[in-house]
């Protein structure tokens, strides 16, 4: 399929460029794309000074953390990902892409491939596709995003994908910090754009083991996408094979990516859930792409609850926290706290940008608190659908009713359905107060923005009549 990699013609690369490319462990189409970038760097170096500007940018990134004028140490992100210089890097990157297009024409590359990577410059001014909406549910882990994602998954005319960026994180190794962290935002963004356009082939180079003939049994959590488990994407299962990511209620043959892409195009809308997009800012090209009608729903949750949940779900990553809790002293390094702070800050910065409603985001951003969804799921679902401009069907309403309320029949002790308005603050009764204090200290600015009140003492943490939630209207400015 893919044309052979263009030869590098024995040119040597600038060191920054090598570092950038080598920090990504990639294969397939993306390798090709990066090879383009590499070649573009080389050509550009020959002709003018952009390369020095690019490499300056690349070198600057780790330092830009220190450039932040604020004395707030919260801005010292542990992953050293620059929150300020991404747009600069990105505009430089766009220039590169434009050059890349010229370059690939010279090299006689397939135009289709260029188009696929957005290297063909500005998308043509074709009209936005009717009423088709492209919903991105932007969250972080343990914020209830799978649950909220179901609101879109359950609607028959929405093509929903669950966490497709998982594959990119698995196969592209981004060294923490510096250019690579910013680079990851660009890769995620480009992949998301293609997926929203129903180009599901874009995932293939990242799926391991590699799909053959566009068939794969390894699409992450296939079973979480109804669209991938219904006719005609669910093909008859011929032989019994182990499928790690199988459909929930039926057996299907391996996923045919072509069939999935066709199904995506047939549906009225597309929705994706992603916990790996850290910066709302990185999505600007998607919002501005005339082929897309993007709606970003940023889902946030009380960081105390998130930490409590992560300590259970990702137990091994939180060994030092547990040690610190049980043994009293030591254990909890400044790095750990810094990471927590960094996560809260990147969520807050994205939300602040969204709420500020810059022109490119106007009408395209909605902030949702998980706690509000848990307490008033139907109302929040209506708001989200209203914001997205998609009519909510009874199908979704039924699903929500069934999955958020405990059975009214109290004799039904085996009901697995949770009463979501009782569940959302369960964490308060098992979280040691000193852990809550650490989160409150690290995540204060984010908590203030989202209306999560600080607990003064252990008693108020566990006192049900003390609310830790400020009531907020819809975080949605029109």
For ligand NAG, which is the closer residue by CB, 210 or 477?
210
Min CB(366)–ligand NAG separation in Å: 25
For ligand NAG, which is the closer residue by CB, 448 or 456?
456
Min CB(127)–ligand NAG separation in Å: 26
- For the chain, the maximum distance between any two Cα atoms, rounded to a whole number of angstroms, is 78
For the stretch 438-444, contacts whose Cβ atoms lie closer than 8 Å and that sit 24 or more positions apart, written own/partner, are 438/332, 438/337, 438/340, 439/303, 439/304, 439/307, 439/340, 440/304, 442/74, 442/303, 442/337, 442/340, 442/341, 442/344, 443/303, 443/340, 443/341, 443/344
Min CB(50)–ligand NAG separation in Å: 9
CA distance 112 to 150: 34
Residues 6+ apart with CB under 8 A from 60: 67, 82, 85
Nearest residue to ligand NAG on Cβ basis: 177
Min CB(386)–ligand NAG separation in Å: 24
Min CB(357)–ligand NAG separation in Å: 21
Binding site for ligand NAG (CB under 6 A): 67-69, 80, 84, 98-99, 102, 176-177, 213, 215, 256, 258-259, 405-406, 408, 419, 421-422, 459, 463, 465-466
CA distance 351 to 155: 27
Min CB(360)–ligand NAG separation in Å: 21
Min CB(233)–ligand NAG separation in Å: 9
Min CB(103)–ligand NAG separation in Å: 8
For ligand NAG, which is the closer residue by CB, 102 or 430?
102
For ligand NAG, which is the closer residue by CB, 66 or 127?
66
Write the CA distances from 154 to 149, 186, 198, 227, 396, integer angstroms. 9, 30, 19, 9, 6
Residues 6+ apart with CB under 8 A from 331: 320, 321, 323, 324
Min CB(364)–ligand NAG separation in Å: 26
CA distance 402 to 420: 11
CA distance 418 to 411: 15
At CA 128, angle to CA 124 and CA 133, rounded to 5? 135
CA distance 366 to 389: 12
For ligand NAG, which is the closer residue by CB, 424 or 476?
424
Give 343's strand partners. none
Q: 104, 116 in Cβ contact below 8 A?
A: no
For ligand NAG, which is the closer residue by CB, 110 or 457?
457
For ligand NAG, which is the closer residue by CB, 78 or 164?
78
Selection from 112, 101, 49, 289 nearest residue 192 by Cα:
289
CA distance 124 to 343: 37
Selection from 47, 49, 51, 44 nearest residue 20 by Cα:
51
Min CB(62)–ligand NAG separation in Å: 6
For ligand NAG, which is the closer residue by CB, 61 or 287?
61
CA distance 41 to 17: 7
Min CB(238)–ligand NAG separation in Å: 11
For ligand NAG, which is the closer residue by CB, 312 or 459?
459
CA distance 42 to 316: 44
For ligand NAG, which is the closer residue by CB, 134 or 278?
278
For ligand NAG, which is the closer residue by CB, 194 or 258?
258
Q: 190, 181 in Cβ contact below 8 A?
A: no
Start-to-end C-alpha separation, the chain: 46
For ligand NAG, which is the closer residue by CB, 232 or 391?
232
Is cis: bond before 258, omega within 30 of 0? Answer: no
Min CB(273)–ligand NAG separation in Å: 25
The bridge status of strand 294-300 relative to strand 269-274 is: unpaired
């Amino acid at each position: 399929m893919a044309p052979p990699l263009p030869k590098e013609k024995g040119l040597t690369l600038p060191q920054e460029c090598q570092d950038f490319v080598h920090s990504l462990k990639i294969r397939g189409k993306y390798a090709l794309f990066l090879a383009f970038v590499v070649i573009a760097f080389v050509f550009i170096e020959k002709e003018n000074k952009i390369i020095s500007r690019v490499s300056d940018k690349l070198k600057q990134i780790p330092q830009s953390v220190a450039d932040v004028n604020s004395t707030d140490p919260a801005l010292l992100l542990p992953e050293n990902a620059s929150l300020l210089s991404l747009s600069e890097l990105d505009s430089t990157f766009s220039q590169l892409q434009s050059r890349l297009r010229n370059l690939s024409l010279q090299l006689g590359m397939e135009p289709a491939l260029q188009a696929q990577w957005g290297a063909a410059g500005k998308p043509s001014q074709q009209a936005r596709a009717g009423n088709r909406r492209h919903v991105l549910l932007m969250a972080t882990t343990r914020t209830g995003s799978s649950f909220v994602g179901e609101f879109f998954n359950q609607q028959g005319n929405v093509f929903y994908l669950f966490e497709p960026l998982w594959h990119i994180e698995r196969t592209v190794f981004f060294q923490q910090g510096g250019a690579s962290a910013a680079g990851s935002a660009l890769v995620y963004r480009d992949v998301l754009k293609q997926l929203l356009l129903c180009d599901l082939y874009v995932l293939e180079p990242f799926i391991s083991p590699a799909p053959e003939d566009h068939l794969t049994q390894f699409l992450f959590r296939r079973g979480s996408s109804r669209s991938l488990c219904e006719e005609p994407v669910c093909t008859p299962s011929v032989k019994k094979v182990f499928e790690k990511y199988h459909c929930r209620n039926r057996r299907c043959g391996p996923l045919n990516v072509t069939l999935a892409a066709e199904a995506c195009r047939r549906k009225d809308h597309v929705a994706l859930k992603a916990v790996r997009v850290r910066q709302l800012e990185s999505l600007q090209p998607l919002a501005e792409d005339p082929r897309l009608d993007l709606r970003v729903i940023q889902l946030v949750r009380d960081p105390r609850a998130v930490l409590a949940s992560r300590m259970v779900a990702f137990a091994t990553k939180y060994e030092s926290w547990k040690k610190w809790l049980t043994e009293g002293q030591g254990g909890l390094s400044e790095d750990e706290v810094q990471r927590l702070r960094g996560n809260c800050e990147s969520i807050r910065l994205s939300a602040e940008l969204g709420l500020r409603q810059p022109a490119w985001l106007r009408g395209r951003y909605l902030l949702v608190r998980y706690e509000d969804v848990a307490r008033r799921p139907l109302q929040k679902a209506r708001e989200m659908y209203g914001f997205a401009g998609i009519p909510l069907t009874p199908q979704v309403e039924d699903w929500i009713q069934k999955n958020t309320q405990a059975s009214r029949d109290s004799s039904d002790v085996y009901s697995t359905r949770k009463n979501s308005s009782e569940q959302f603050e369960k964490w308060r009764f098992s979280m040691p107060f000193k852990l809550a204090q650490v989160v409150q200290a690290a995540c204060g600015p984010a908590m203030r923005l989202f209306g999560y009140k600080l607990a003064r003492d252990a008693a108020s943490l566990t006192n049900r009549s003390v609310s830790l939630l400020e009531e907020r209207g819809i975080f949605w400015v029109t």
